[in-house]
Every structure is written in structure tokens, then in C-alpha cells.
Structure 1
Amino acid sequence: MERTLVLLKPDAVQRGLVGTIIARFESKGLKIVGLKARTFERSLLEKHYEVHKERPFYGNLVDFMSSGPVCAMALEGKDAIAVVRTLVGKTNAREAAPGTIRGDYGMSFSNNLVHASDAEDTAKFELGLWFSDAGELSDWTPADLEWRYSVKEEL
């Protein structure tokens, strides 16, 4: 099983899409192992997006992400990183395929509703930032695990 970070950005919160987006991940069969929502400290956002610090959009991105509440989630599942990235769709929501979260609900390149870790090392780093206390993450087994996966073949 793999874990990944998903951030529902301020535009998703402001538009009342948090429940709808979470339902997409849960319906796919991903398990929520961490969840919190609030307006996060600017220092956390700067550290999270530090890889983009030299890029022209960095300041606007940090401003946007600190403009209101964000819902941070740790999701778990088989190949969770790739599965989440597929569900989210292309960064530019106008180019995202119908059926993806951005394709169905977005129209912007910058205000694109969701951040999702792009690789295993990134997910590990980002989960450590957003869920730095191990007690914020829950280890549990869904009662319907055998209906989500072919346990004998896939797990």
C-alpha cells in the first residue's frame, strides 16, 4: 500500500466542492488515513512549494494557498500516487479530461482545485510536512477491503 498527500485548495473549499472531491477518492477505493482543514501557516506553504521558489509564479501560489482554508488529506491504496494523479487530471484544468476532478470542476491553470504528490519521494516529504505528528495518521483496515481489491492477487 502506498500513501500520498492531497490538498484541496482554497478554491475547492470556497466553491463547496470538498465533499464532492473527497467522495471521488473514496468511491475509487482510496482510504483516508489523515484529514485536517484550516488556513495553514504561510511558512508551511513556503516550505511545501520551495521547489518552485525561483519560478515567477511562486509568490502568487503561496498567496493563493494562504488566502483561505485548505483541506489536507493523506490517502492510502495500491498505487495511490498514480491513481490520485489520474483522478485529478492535468494541471491546466481547461485541458484536463472530462471525468477527472479538474476536467469536471475546473477552468483555471492556477486555481485548479487540488494538489497531489507526483512521486513516492515527494509524497513522503509532503506527508511529513503536513502530518508531522505520526498520531495524525490512522492505520486501519476497511471492512470492505476484499471488495476493493482482489486480495489474493493484488495485496
Structure 2
Amino acid sequence: MTTEETLILVKPDGVARGLTGAILARIEAKGYSLVDIRLVEPDRALLEQHYAEHEGKPFYEPLLEFMMSGPSVAIRLAGNRVIEGFRSLAGTTDPTTAAPGTIRGDFGRDWGLKVQQNLVHGSDSPESAARELGIWFS
């Protein structure tokens, strides 16, 4: 059994809608361990680091604006295959196609906006997790 760590973000829409507790309850019910948790009001510099791979894409600026629209909850999460497991728990990126029983499937909405306000972020690989944890928990 290999324990991994990953970055989870409850994005501004999840925080504003009061879903942080419900999201954390689902994470804890899976048996994952909260290593660190903090409420963060990210500035542009932090978000430019986090989303560097998307610079130049049409959704980049709206995404940064959305992520600066309110606080996010940053979570350092540990567990067996936690990266893959959380992404499965989160559901597909688009809440309208996310399966029932997933965070996005149960709580997500398509607001018809330029940027998908999809409640949560989870690192997609061990390399991304290490990089993102360094940005949000430095």
C-alpha cells in the first residue's frame, strides 16, 4: 500500500455555497487523512503558478478571475491511491455529466458561464500534486 499526498481545493463556488463541510465529510468517509487545511484568498501570482499550463488558452483569464472571486479551502490530503480516488469521488469536470454520488454530480451546477464552476480541484498526478502542494502550502 503506497500512501500518496494530493492537493484538493474547495473552489470559491463551493465555499460560497456552504458546501465545504459536506465535501470534507465525503473525503473523510473515504478514509483519507487531512494533513493540513487552510482558508486561502489566492492572489494572481499564486494562481498564475498553479494554472501556468493553461496560460494563453481562452478560459485562462476568466478562470483566474473566478478563482480570485472569493476564498478557497486548500487541503493537503493523504491516503492510499488518493490522487485517483479523489478524482473519482469528484466526478467529471463538467457537473452536468458527473455521475450521481460524486461531489460534482450531487452538488454541481452548470451556470452557463465562461468558466466551469465545478466546486473542487484535485491534482491529476503525483508530479502535479508535488508542484501544487508546494504552491499552496509553501
TM-score, scaled relative to structure 2: 0.93
Q: Counterpart in 2 of 1:122?
A: 128
Task: Tell me, yes or no, if structure 1 residue 107 matches structure 2 residue 112.
Answer: no
**Aligned partners of 1:15 and 1:83: how far apart in 2?**
24
> What do the CA deviations read for 1:79-129 (whole angstroms, capped 9, x no partner)?
010000000000000000000000000022610000110011000100111
**Aligned partners of 2:82 and 2:128: how far apart in 1?**
13
More helix by share: 1
Q: Counterpart in 2 of 1:141?
A: none
Matched residue count: 132
**Aligned partners of 1:71 and 1:91: how far apart in 2?**
18
Structure with the greater relative contact order (CA < 8 A, sep ≥ 6): 1 or 2? Answer: 2
- In angstroms, what is the RMSD of aligned CA positions? 0.8
Q: Counterpart in 2 of 1:61?
A: 63
* AA at the equivalent of 1:8: V
Q: Counterpart in 2 of 1:96?
A: 98
**Aligned partners of 1:59 and 1:47: how far apart in 2?**
13
Structure 2 spans left out of the alignment, 5+ residues = none
Partner SS for 1:95:
coil
Larger-gyration structure (1/2): 1
Q: CA deviation at 1:38?
A: 2.6
Structure 1 spans left out of the alignment, 5+ residues = 133-155
Which residues in structure 2 correspond to 1:3-152 (within 5 Å)?
3-108=5-110, 110-132=116-138
* AA at the equivalent of 2:44: R
**Aligned partners of 2:71 and 2:47: how far apart in 1?**
12
Q: Counterpart in 2 of 1:136?
A: none
Partner SS for 1:98:
coil
